[in-house]
């Protein structure tokens, strides 16, 4: 349980810090984060007895057990050591950041990200499931991105963050793929199972695939060559971030993973070559590059890369003692490098620059910081009596040993000594250039002084740790290291001794050569380094960064543009043509493959009346297709004809519900399009008469496509209709409709009861569409040539104006007088009819949809008959309320079933005796249907009224614009 708390606590703290964003207090967020980090540290420390000497703490929570995914947290000695590192250095970093961050920065945001990062990092080390591990792995990438780009007004920070995210993100993706392969090989994602099946993994044909993918993940994260270049660019982050993420913890995640999976993956020749080459190249190149950096943090970043390369090299050797040295060096590096970063941060903070060409002679001003930095860089250089020396000795000892005999292995002692000499040179340079030499002359802040007491405390603490571990290793880190080693190596735990003096032996001689050689190297290069440009000679213009940017531009810009220009079009017609052609092929190809033969046509049983109706229908459809370009009204009328044919077909073929719905919907659709025609300017047949050849061929192609689609549908539907209808789910509904749904109209029972949830979704769609139409029309600007009054009204107005006995508007008022009076009288009749349709719906054709649209027609007729103003003076329809009530009613009816312990939308039905009327069916589905009814009324009326209102709005717009035009 403590494990869950340990992982969740930092995330909770992170959320809490976001709440503090609105406060002005800078200290509050820091204190809270400090408390969270400290409690995590105490919790981790308290777990030590349980993990000592190979013990393990484990907790399993089910996540997706079907897929073998569980939230498994486990802590063993190694994870404990890392958790201590994360929480311990986390505490120190929070303390340091409290003083480092300036007044203007949004501090709570910083601490929020930092804590979330800490939680993700703890998640990585504590994951007992490899998929969970990769989830936390991604989280660290994301929070690292957010932390690097913390000063997002700074372009370098944004670029560095983006680069870090791209590289580690690609790595994380490969890692996930690799872990999936690994899980596939083992048959389980559980870490313990994976670790115990090392032989099975190494013998599997997919071993190399998994290895390469996992290595890409680990090497990108740990900034190994050739993926190293993101780390120096990440130095645009605030220094506490560099100290914490980019030296102590996140970049260690890669090597952590290599150690974690060491029992499962290592020991093969592939492992040795891949990991070894990456490690050795990183070791030597990182150290070489570090010497030539002018930026303090750049030097430290390359040095970090080099040290990570050292750890990777140790891990590649596959010998248990090397693994011990790797774990030990991870800890040592974290302590001295974090303290050096913080020292660099203090120097930057006090002097305003990190450029070593401008810094010099600071020892006078910063004696304590200077001393601390000297001890820490001595540890980095591997000077005896410090922790870096001991692990470096172990490395040299391992380098001398022969592992897998190859050129790489034979080279290793020399490469190691050379890298050691480089690291001595850059450490010396760091100290000598910054703290010694002449007085600084051009510092941005001229009078540097020692930082506050507590800002220096983290460095003091870590430097003390370097000393203690360096002098009495077996008494200080010894037992903890032993627990970690046992948990990784198990029975293969080797004999090793932690001491700074092993007598005069090869490693000691190598160390001495490195120390003297490094000092000599610095003495030679000193003058060149004081003046040279940033970056090493020879490699200055060949950065991985440049290659990365080139690739990024090519892939995301050039290729994307090329593909877009080749594959996509912004024109609608080609797209629709493709859709239609694809639809045709999707229908034809499977049928052809299945050996489909068209049914012979049977002419015998054609009903002449039905055929005659369809002759009209076909004529209407073809006519609409022919007329839609120039004669919109004619096309609309013909479309209505096709609709009526459809409606009659429904009646003919035993679908009364459909017929009613089709009829009323046909009416509102026609009215809708008529209202729309008002805003579509006339198309003149005279323009656009010159038909080019390409247009002609386009038309011919479309015509062919249309004819094929029509022919296909004809053949296909004819075949289907002549098939016997299979006994599907129809009989189920027919049998249960009355028994369980309490209704005789099976279609309605399906809609409101059996498939009620579908209907619920459909009315929600209807509501959304209605609201969208409403919203679109609120900002509607019609075409300029249709703002004028329509032609008919102009003629009528002119007629009024010509005759003295008539006043303006008389003709409009009298227009269609008789029909409009009838429409007004029809109002109650239609409403009654709508309610009738609705009420009978459960047993006879009708129902909520048909009733609702009919009700909407009743309102609509008043608008048509009297005009918008007249209707709204007398009627206040609130369509939005109708819709809201409808949706609520449907949902509440559905939820009502919960009260009786049934699933959502279970209905109950019975007959209720009402005086004078008799037995009335009263299923709870009726209320659901009432909801449908109400929503359909609201949505339909809302759409139509919103469109109808445009004529009034435009009237106002005209009146507003007229004076303006006169003024002009």
Partner 1 sequence: MELVLSLGIGIMTGSGVWLILRPRTYQVIIGLSLLSYAVNLFIFAVGGVKSNAAPLLEEGVDISTMTDPVPHALVLTAIVIGFATTALFLVVLLAARGLTGTDHVDGREQPK
**The two three-digit tokens of residue 520, written as one number:** 């000599």
Residues 728-747 that bind partner 1 (CB under 8 A): 728-731, 733-735, 737-738, 744-747
| Residue 571 within binding range of partner 1, rule CB under 8 A | yes
Task: State which of residues 188, 406, 545, 646 lies at the interface with partner 1 (CB under 8 A).
Answer: 646
- Pick 539 or 610: Cβ nearer partner 1: 610
- Write down the least CB distance from residue 775 to partner 1, Å: 9
| Residue 843 within binding range of partner 1, rule CB under 8 A | yes
Closest CA to 176 of 220, 118, 126, 229: 220
What whole-number distance in Å separates Cα of residue 37 and Cα of residue 19?
Answer: 18
Residues 509-548 that bind partner 1 (CB under 8 A): none
- Pick 475 or 609: Cβ nearer partner 1: 609
Task: State which of residues 4, 582, 618, 829 lies at the interface with partner 1 (CB under 8 A).
Answer: 618
Q: Given the DSSP bridges, would you call strands 69-75 and 57-64 parallel, antiparallel or unpaired?
A: antiparallel
- Write down the least CB distance from residue 244 to partner 1, Å: 53
- Pick 110 or 733: Cβ nearer partner 1: 733
- Write down the least CB distance from residue 944 to partner 1, Å: 8
Q: Taking the mean position of all CA atoms in its chain, how far away is CA 863?
A: 49
- Write down the least CB distance from residue 669 to partner 1, Å: 5
Q: Given the DSSP bridges, would you call strands 911-914 and 69-75 parallel, antiparallel or unpaired?
A: unpaired
Q: Taking the mean position of all CA atoms in its chain, how far away is CA 293?
A: 37
- Write down the least CB distance from residue 889 to partner 1, Å: 17
For helices 250-260 and 77-100, what crossing angle results, to 10°?
A: 180
Residues shown for the chain: 968
- Peptide bond preceding 226 in cis form (omega within 30 of 0): yes
Contact predicate 344/239, CB 8 Å: yes
- Write down the least CB distance from residue 870 to partner 1, Å: 24
What whole-number distance in Å separates Cα of residue 557 and Cα of residue 563?
Answer: 10
Interface pattern 852-881 for partner 1 (x via CB under 8 A): -x----------------------------
Task: State which of residues 62, 199, 564, 607 lies at the interface with partner 1 (CB under 8 A).
Answer: 607
Contact predicate 663/647, CB 8 Å: yes
| Residue 606 within binding range of partner 1, rule CB under 8 A | yes
Residues 433-472 that bind partner 1 (CB under 8 A): none
- Write down the least CB distance from residue 730 to partner 1, Å: 4
Contact predicate 838/846, CB 8 Å: yes
Q: How many CA atoms lie within 13 A of 444 on its CB side?
A: 9
| Residue 580 within binding range of partner 1, rule CB under 8 A | yes
**The two three-digit tokens of residue 934, written as one number:** 């109400």
Residues 99-138 that bind partner 1 (CB under 8 A): none
What whole-number distance in Å separates Cα of residue 616 and Cα of residue 636?
Answer: 15
- Pick 716 or 833: Cβ nearer partner 1: 716
Residues 658-677 that bind partner 1 (CB under 8 A): 658, 661-662, 665, 668-669, 672-673, 676
| Residue 586 within binding range of partner 1, rule CB under 8 A | no
- Pick 603 or 900: Cβ nearer partner 1: 603
- Piece in contact with partner 1 (CB under 8 A), picked from 90-98, 296-304, 776-784, 899-907: 776-784
Task: State which of residues 762, 800, 810, 872 lies at the interface with partner 1 (CB under 8 A).
Answer: 762
Residues 926-965 that bind partner 1 (CB under 8 A): 936, 939-940, 943, 947
What whole-number distance in Å separates Cα of residue 274 and Cα of residue 195?
Answer: 20
Residues 225-284 that bind partner 1 (CB under 8 A): none
**The two three-digit tokens of residue 939, written as one number:** 């949505």
- Piece in contact with partner 1 (CB under 8 A), picked from 11-19, 423-431, 556-564, 647-655: 647-655
- Pick 5 or 576: Cβ nearer partner 1: 576
Task: State which of residues 474, 772, 792, 807 lies at the interface with partner 1 (CB under 8 A).
Answer: 772
**The two three-digit tokens of residue 133, written as one number:** 């591990």
Residue 919: strand pairing partners: 913
| Residue 755 within binding range of partner 1, rule CB under 8 A | yes
- Write down the least CB distance from residue 575 to partner 1, Å: 10
Q: Given the DSSP bridges, would you call strands 911-914 and 918-921 parallel, antiparallel or unpaired?
A: antiparallel
The per-residue DSSP string of 231-248 comes to: HHHGGGS-HHHHHIIIII
Looking up tokens 């001398």 gives 400
- Write down the least CB distance from residue 30 to partner 1, Å: 53
What whole-number distance in Å separates Cα of residue 121 and Cα of residue 110?
Answer: 16
- Pick 513 or 705: Cβ nearer partner 1: 705
Closest CA to 645 of 670, 666, 668: 666
Residues 801-830 that bind partner 1 (CB under 8 A): none
| Burial tier of 748 (Cβ tally within 10 Å: 0-12, 13-18, 19+) | buried
- Pick 72 or 745: Cβ nearer partner 1: 745
Contact predicate 897/905, CB 8 Å: yes
- Pick 93 or 936: Cβ nearer partner 1: 936
- Pick 193 or 628: Cβ nearer partner 1: 628
Task: State which of residues 88, 617, 867, 879 lies at the interface with partner 1 (CB under 8 A).
Answer: 617
What whole-number distance in Å separates Cα of residue 501 and Cα of residue 471?
Answer: 10
Task: State which of residues 551, 553, 585, 776 lies at the interface with partner 1 (CB under 8 A).
Answer: 776
Measured CA angle at 469 (ends 464, 470), to 5 deg = 95
- Write down the least CB distance from residue 709 to partner 1, Å: 4
Beta strands in 298-356 (DSSP E): none
**The two three-digit tokens of residue 430, written as one number:** 């760091």
* Helical residues (DSSP H) of 187-292, grouped into ranges: 191-196, 198-203, 207-221, 230-233, 239-243, 250-260, 262-265, 269-291
**The two three-digit tokens of residue 901, written as one number:** 């312990």
Task: State which of residues 718, 827, 870, 904 lies at the interface with partner 1 (CB under 8 A).
Answer: 718
**The two three-digit tokens of residue 464, written as one number:** 């003390």
- Write down the least CB distance from residue 23 to partner 1, Å: 46
Task: State which of residues 751, 857, 923, 945 lies at the interface with partner 1 (CB under 8 A).
Answer: 751
| Residue 717 within binding range of partner 1, rule CB under 8 A | yes
Q: Taking the mean position of all CA atoms in its chain, how far away is CA 558?
A: 24
Residues 369-388 that bind partner 1 (CB under 8 A): none
- Piece in contact with partner 1 (CB under 8 A), picked from 430-438, 478-486, 491-499, 651-659: 651-659
- Pick 423 or 661: Cβ nearer partner 1: 661
- Pick 458 or 852: Cβ nearer partner 1: 852
Residue 355: strand pairing partners: 295
Q: What does the CA dihedral 137, 138, 143, 145 come to, rounded to 10 degrees?
A: 120
- Pick 497 or 731: Cβ nearer partner 1: 731
Q: How many binding residues for partner 1 (CB under 8 A)?
A: 115
Task: State which of residues 407, 504, 566, 603 lies at the interface with partner 1 (CB under 8 A).
Answer: 603
| Residue 777 within binding range of partner 1, rule CB under 8 A | yes
- Piece in contact with partner 1 (CB under 8 A), picked from 332-340, 353-361, 487-495, 629-637: 629-637
- Piece in contact with partner 1 (CB under 8 A), picked from 147-155, 199-207, 439-447, 630-638: 630-638
Task: State which of residues 61, 601, 960, 968 lies at the interface with partner 1 (CB under 8 A).
Answer: 601
Closest CA to 221 of 189, 192, 255: 255
Task: State which of residues 107, 219, 235, 642 lies at the interface with partner 1 (CB under 8 A).
Answer: 642
Task: State which of residues 567, 783, 965, 968 lies at the interface with partner 1 (CB under 8 A).
Answer: 783
CB atoms within 10 A of CB 550: 10
Measured CA angle at 307 (ends 306, 311), to 5 deg = 120
| Burial tier of 808 (Cβ tally within 10 Å: 0-12, 13-18, 19+) | exposed
């Amino acid at each position: 349980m403590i494990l869950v708390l340990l992982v969740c606590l930092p995330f909770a703290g992170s959320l809490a810090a976001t709440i503090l964003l609105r406060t002005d207090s800078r200290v509050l967020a820091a204190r809270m984060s400090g408390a969270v980090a400290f409690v995590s540290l105490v919790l981790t420390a308290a777990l030590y007895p349980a993990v000592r000497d190979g013990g393990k703490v484990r907790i399993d929570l089910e996540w997706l057990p079907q897929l073998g995914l569980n939230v498994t947290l486990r802590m063993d000695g190694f994870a404990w050591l890392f958790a201590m590192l994360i929480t311990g250095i986390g505490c120190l970093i929070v303390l340091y950041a409290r003083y480092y961050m300036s007044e203007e920065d949004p501090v709570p945001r910083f601490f929020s990200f930092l804590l979330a990062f800490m939680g993700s990092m703890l998640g990585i080390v504590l994951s007992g499931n490899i998929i969970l591990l990769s989830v936390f792995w991604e989280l660290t990438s994301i929070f690292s991105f957010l932390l690097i780009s913390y000063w997002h007004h700074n372009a370098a920070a944004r670029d560095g963050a983006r680069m870090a995210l791209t590289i580690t993100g690609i790595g994380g993706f490969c890692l996930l793929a690799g872990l999936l392969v690994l899980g596939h090989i083992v048959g389980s994602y559980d870490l313990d199972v994976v670790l115990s099946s090392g032989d099975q993994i190494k013998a599997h044909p997919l071993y190399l695939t998994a290895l390469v993918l996992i290595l890409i993940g680990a090497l990108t994260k740990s900034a190994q060559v050739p993926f190293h270049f993101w780390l120096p660019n990440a130095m645009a982050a605030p220094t506490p971030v560099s100290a914490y993420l980019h030296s102590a913890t996140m970049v260690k995640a890669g090597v952590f993973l290599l150690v974690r999976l060491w029992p499962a993956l290592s020991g093969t020749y592939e492992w040795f070559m891949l990991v070894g080459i990456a490690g050795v190249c990183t070791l030597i190149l990182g150290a070489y590059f570090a010497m030539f950096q002018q930026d303090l943090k750049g030097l430290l970043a390359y040095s970090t890369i080099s040290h990570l390369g050292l750890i990777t090299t140790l891990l590649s050797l596959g010998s248990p003692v090397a693994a011990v040295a790797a774990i030990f060096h991870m800890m040592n590096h974290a302590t001295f490098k974090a303290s050096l970063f913080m020292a660099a941060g203090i120097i930057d903070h006090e002097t305003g620059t990190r450029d070593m060409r401008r810094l010099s002679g600071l020892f006078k001003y910063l004696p304590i910081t200077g001393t601390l930095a000297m001890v820490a860089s001595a540890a980095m250089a591997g000077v005896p009596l410090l922790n870096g020396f001991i692990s470096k000795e172990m490395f040299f000892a391992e380098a001398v040993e022969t592992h897998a005999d190859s050129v790489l292995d034979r080279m290793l002692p020399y490469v190691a000594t050379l890298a050691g000499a480089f690291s001595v040179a850059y450490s010396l340079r760091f100290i000598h250039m910054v703290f010694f030499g002449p007085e600084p002359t051009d510092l941005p802040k001229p009078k540097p002084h020692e930082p506050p007491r507590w800002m220096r405390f983290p460095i003091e603490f870590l430097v003390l740790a370097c000393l203690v571990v360096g002098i009495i290793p077996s008494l200080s880190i010894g037992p903890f290291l032993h627990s970690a080693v046992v948990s990784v190596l198990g029975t293969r735990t080797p004999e090793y001794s932690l001491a700074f003096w092993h007598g005069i032996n090869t490693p000691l001689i190598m160390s001495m050569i490195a120390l003297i050689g490094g000092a000599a190297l610095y003495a030679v290069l000193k003058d060149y380094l004081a003046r040279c440009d940033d970056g090493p000679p020879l490699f200055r213009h060949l950065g991985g960064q440049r290659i990365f940017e080139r690739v990024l531009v090519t892939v995301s810009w050039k290729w994307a543009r090329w593909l877009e220009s080749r594959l996509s079009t912004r024109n609608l017609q080609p797209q629709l043509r493709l859709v239609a052609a694809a639809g045709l092929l999707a229908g034809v190809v499977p049928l052809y493959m299945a050996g489909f033969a068209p049914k012979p046509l049977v002419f015998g049983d054609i009903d002449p009346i039905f055929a005659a109706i369809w002759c009209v229908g076909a004529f209407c459809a073809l006519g609409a297709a022919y007329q839609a370009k120039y004669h919109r009204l004619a096309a609309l009328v013909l479309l209505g004809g096709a609709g009526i044919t459809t409606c009659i077909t429904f009646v003919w073929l035993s679908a009364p519900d459909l017929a009613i719905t089709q009829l009323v919907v046909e009416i509102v659709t026609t009215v809708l399009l008529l209202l729309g025609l008002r805003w579509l300017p006339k198309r003149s047949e005279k323009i656009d008469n010159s038909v080019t050849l390409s247009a002609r061929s386009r038309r011919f192609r479309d015509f062919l496509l249309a004819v094929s689609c029509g022919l296909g549908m004809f053949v296909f539907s004819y075949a289907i209709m002549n098939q016997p209808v299979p006994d599907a789910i129809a009989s189920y509904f027919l049998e249960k409709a009355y028994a369980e749904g309490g209704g005789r109209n099976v279609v309605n029972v399906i809609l409101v009861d059996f498939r009620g949830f579908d209907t619920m979704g459909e009315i929600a769609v209807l509501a959304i569409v209605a609201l969208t139409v409403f919203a679109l029309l609120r900002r509607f600007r019609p075409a300029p040539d249709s703002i004028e009054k329509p032609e008919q009204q102009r003629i009528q107005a002119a007629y009024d104006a010509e005759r003295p006995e008539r006043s303006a508007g008389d003709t409009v008022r009298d227009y269609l007088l008789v029909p409009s009076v009838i429409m007004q009288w029809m109002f109650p009749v239609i409403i009654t009819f709508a309610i009738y349709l609705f009420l009978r719906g459960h047993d006879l054709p009708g129902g909520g949809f048909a009733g609702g649209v009919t009700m909407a027609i009743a309102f609509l007729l008043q608008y048509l008959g009297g005009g918008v103003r007249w209707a709204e003076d007398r009627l206040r329809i609130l369509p939005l309320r109708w819709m809201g009530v409808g949706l609520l009613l449907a949902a509440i009816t559905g939820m009502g079933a919960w009260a009786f312990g049934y699933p959502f939308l279970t209905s109950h039905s019975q007959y209720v005796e009402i005086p004078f009327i008799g037995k009335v069916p009263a299923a709870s589905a009726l209320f659901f249907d009432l909801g449908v009814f109400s929503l359909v009324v609201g949505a339909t009326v809302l759409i139509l009224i919103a469109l109808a209102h445009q004529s009034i709005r435009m009237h106002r717009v005209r009146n507003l614009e007229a004076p303006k035009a006169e003024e002009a």
